[in-house]
C-alpha cells in the first residue's frame, strides 16, 4: 500500500464551491448558506409543497418503498449512468478523475456483455439534461440500474439536494426518476457534500472478485441510495486523485476480499455489508491523513461518514454452484490453449469468454493479494493452473484473440472466481 500523500486544499463539493475555501466569507458556513439562500430556498420550498417532479414529497431521509424480496437468479444487465460536473472551475478535474475510476472499476468487474454505460459530463449534467438522460436509458425488464454522481450537493431543511451546473436538483427527484424506470435493483451513489474540502489518499486496488459485483449489482433487489457525507459534514476531494468517498468505493469493490466483505459468513455480500465497509474505509482514510482530527480553514470540522437514505436493497440468494471449475473446452494452438466451446452456467460463461480466444496465462491471486503467474502453452498447462488455484479460487485469465488486427489490442485480462 502506498504511503499517505498530503494534497493542497481545494474547493468544496458543496453549494459554495464557486468560492475557494481560502476566500470564504468571515461568517463561514453560515454566511455561505445565507448568501445562497435566495437561490436555494424557493426551489426547495416549492419542492416540499408540491413534491418532486417524479415522486412524493422531499424529506431528509425518505424511506421510500420497502426493500423487495429478491427474485431468483441474476439481473440480465447492469445499466449505468455516470454523471460529473466536469465544467466546474473548482472541482472539475477531481470529479473527472472520479468518473474514470468508477467506470474502470465497473468495466473490470462486470462482463462487457452485461454492462451498459452512459456518461454525462460538461453542460449535459444540468437537471433537465439528467432527467432526459435517465428517461432515455435502455432499461429492460430484469436489468439493474446504477446512477453515480460526482459534483456539488448539500442538505437543507427540505431535504438533500444536488447542484449540477449551479441548479438545484432535490435528491428525491433524482431517486424517483430512477425508480420510475422499473429496474429490479436501483442504486444511487453520489460523491458530494455541503461545505468543505480537504485532502485525499489513493489506495491501489490489488484484485477484483467478480462475485462481489454479481452479489451487489445482479442478485440484490430493491433500492440503494448512498451519498458521500452525512448532513453538515465535509466531503474530501482532490483534483488529481478524486474524492475520498470514491476512493473508498473503489477499494470496497476491487480491493477488499469477498470473505472480508461477507461479515455474517452467509455466502452473500449484501449492500449493508458493503456500505459498512465503505463507511469504515472513508473513516480510516481520513484518520490516516488527519490523525489529530480534520481541520478546515483553521477550525475543527466533522469527519465524513457516508449516509444511507432509506432501506438498503435486500441481498439475493447465494450464487449457485457452477458445474465446472472454469467451463471451457480447449485445444492446442501456437498461442496457448484455444477455447473451442464455452459451457453454459459456468464461470467462463458468466465472464464472457468467447470461442476462438486463446488462454495464454493464468494468474493465481492469493488471499494476501499475491500474484502467481502461470504461462499457458498447451491445454495441460491450463488444467494444471486451475488445479493449483483450487475450488473457488480467484484467478485472472490473459486471453488473446489472433483475429484482432492490432497486436496491442489482442490481449485482454478477465478476472474469474472459479467453481468447485
In a domain, 14, yes or no: no
- Residue at 279 is within a domain: yes
Looking at the domain assignment, is residue 6 inside a domain? Answer: no
Q: What is the pLDDT of residue 14?
A: 55
Say yes or no: 130 and 203 in one domain.
yes
Please tell me the distance from the alpha carbon of residue 1 to that of residue 208, in angstroms, as a whole number: 16
Which pLDDT band, with edges at 50, 70 and 90, does 202 fall under? very low
SS3 of 188, please?
strand
Domain end (from 308, 338, 355): 308
For residue 29, being part of any structural domain is answered with: yes
**pLDDT, position 163:** 87
Domain boundary among 250, 280, 308: 308
Containing structural domain, residue 401: 328-417
Place of cell 427527484: 173
Residue 13 is assigned to a structural domain of this protein: no
CATH of the domain at 203: 3.40.50.1460
CATH number assigned to the domain comprising residue 346? 2.30.42.10
pTM, rounded to two decimals: 0.70
Residue with the bigger pLDDT between 146 and 170: it is 146
121-166 residue pLDDT tens: 999 999 999 999 999 999 998 999 999 999 988 876 667 889 898 8
Shared-domain flag, residues 37 and 103: yes
* Residue 202: exposure state from Cβ atoms within 10 A (0-12, 13-18, ≥19): buried
Mean pLDDT across 364-389 = 90
Residue 320 lies in a domain: no
Give the C-alpha separation, 57 to 368, whole Å. 48
280 and 383 co-located in one domain: no
Is 266 found in the same domain as 356? Answer: no
Which contiguous run of DSSP H or E holds residue 400?
strand 394-400
The average pLDDT across 211-224 equals 97
pLDDT at 80: 98
Q: Can you give the pLDDT at residue 10?
A: 37
> Is residue 303 located within the same domain as residue 332?
no
CA distance 218 to 73: 8
With contact defined as beta carbons under 8 Å apart, do 360 and 398 qualify?
yes
Question: Which tens digit of pLDDT belongs to each residue from 314-337?
Answer: 999 999 999 999 999 999 999 899
CB atoms under 10 Å from CB of 408, counted, come to: 6
Mean pLDDT for the chain? Answer: 80
Q: Identify whether 16 is part of a domain.
A: no
Same domain, 259 and 121: yes
Asked if residue 343 and residue 197 are part of one domain, the reply reads no
Q: Domain check: are 342 and 217 in the same one?
A: no
Query: Could you tell me if 159 and 102 lie in one domain?
Result: yes
241 and 345 in a single domain? The answer is: no
In tens, the pLDDT along 48-86 reads 323 333 333 322 333 333 344 445 689 999 999 999 999
- Number of domains the chain contains: 2
284 within some domain: yes
247 φ/ψ angles, rounded to the nearest 5 degrees? -60, -45
Amino acid at each position: 500500500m502506498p504511503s499517505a500523500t498530503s494534497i493542497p486544499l481545494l474547493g468544496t463539493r458543496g453549494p459554495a464551491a464557486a468560492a475557494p475555501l481560502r476566500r470564504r466569507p468571515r461568517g463561514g458556513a453560515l454566511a455561505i448558506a445565507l448568501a445562497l439562500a435566495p437561490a436555494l430556498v424557493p426551489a426547495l420550498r416549492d419542492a416540499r409543497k408540491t413534491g418532486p417532479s417524479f415522486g412524493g414529497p422531499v424529506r431528509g431521509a425518505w424511506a421510500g418503498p420497502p426493500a423487495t424480496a429478491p427474485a431468483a437468479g441474476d439481473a440480465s444487465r447492469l445499466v449505468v449512468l455516470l454523471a460529473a460536473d466536469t465544467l466546474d472551475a473548482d472541482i472539475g478535474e477531481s470529479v473527472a478523475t472520479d468518473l474514470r475510476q468508477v467506470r474502470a472499476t465497473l468495466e473490470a468487474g462486470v462482463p462487457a456483455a452485461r454492462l451498459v454505460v452512459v456518461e454525462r459530463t460538461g453542460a449535459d449534467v444540468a437537471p433537465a439534461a439528467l432527467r432526459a438522460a435517465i428517461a432515455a436509458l435502455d432499461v429492460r425488464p430484469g436489468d439493474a440500474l446504477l446512477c453515480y454522481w460526482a459534483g456539488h450537493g448539500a442538505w437543507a431543511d427540505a431535504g438533500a439536494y444536488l447542484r449540477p451546473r449551479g441548479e438545484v436538483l432535490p435528491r428525491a427527484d433524482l431517486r424517483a426518476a430512477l425508480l420510475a424506470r422499473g429496474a429490479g435493483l436501483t442504486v444511487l451513489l453520489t460523491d458530494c457534500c455541503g461545505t468543505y474540502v480537504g485532502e485525499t489518499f489513493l489506495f491501489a486496488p490489488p484484485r477484483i472478485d467478480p462475485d462481489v459485483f454479481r452479489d451487489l449489482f445482479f442478485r440484490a433487489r430493491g433500492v440503494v441510495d448512498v451519498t458521500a457525507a452525512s448532513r453538515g459534514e465535509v466531503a474530501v476531494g482532490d483534483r488529481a486523485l478524486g474524492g475520498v468517498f470514491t476512493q473508498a468505493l473503489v477499494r470496497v469493490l476491487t480491493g477488499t476480499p469477498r470473505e472480508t466483505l461477507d461479515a455474517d459468513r452467509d455466502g452473500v455480500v449484501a449492500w449493508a455489508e458493503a456500505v459498512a465497509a465503505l463507511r469504515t474505509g472513508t473513516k480510516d482514510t481520513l484518520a490516516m491523513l488527519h490523525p489529530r482530527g480534520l481541520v478546515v480553514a483553521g477550525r475543527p470540522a466533522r469527519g465524513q461518514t457516508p449516509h444511507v437514505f432509506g432501506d438498503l436493497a435486500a441481498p439475493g440468494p447465494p450464487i449457485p454452484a457452477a458445474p465446472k471449475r472454469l467451463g471451457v473446452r480447449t485445444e492446442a494452438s501456437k498461442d496457448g490453449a484455444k477455447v473451442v466451446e464455452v459451457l453454459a452456467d459456468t464461470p467462463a460463461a458468466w465472464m464472457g469468454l468467447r470461442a476462438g480466444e486463446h488462454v495464454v496465462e493464468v494468474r493465481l491471486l492469493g488471499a494476501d493479494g499475491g500474484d502467481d503467474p502461470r504461462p499457458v502453452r498447451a491445454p495441460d498447462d491450463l488444467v494444471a493452473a486451475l488445479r493449483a488455484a483450487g475450488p473457488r479460487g480467484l484467478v485472472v485469465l490473459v486471453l488473446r484473440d489472433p483475429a484482432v488486427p492490432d497486436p496491442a489490442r489482442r490481449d485482454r485480462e478477465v478476472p474469474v472466481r472459479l467453481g468447485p
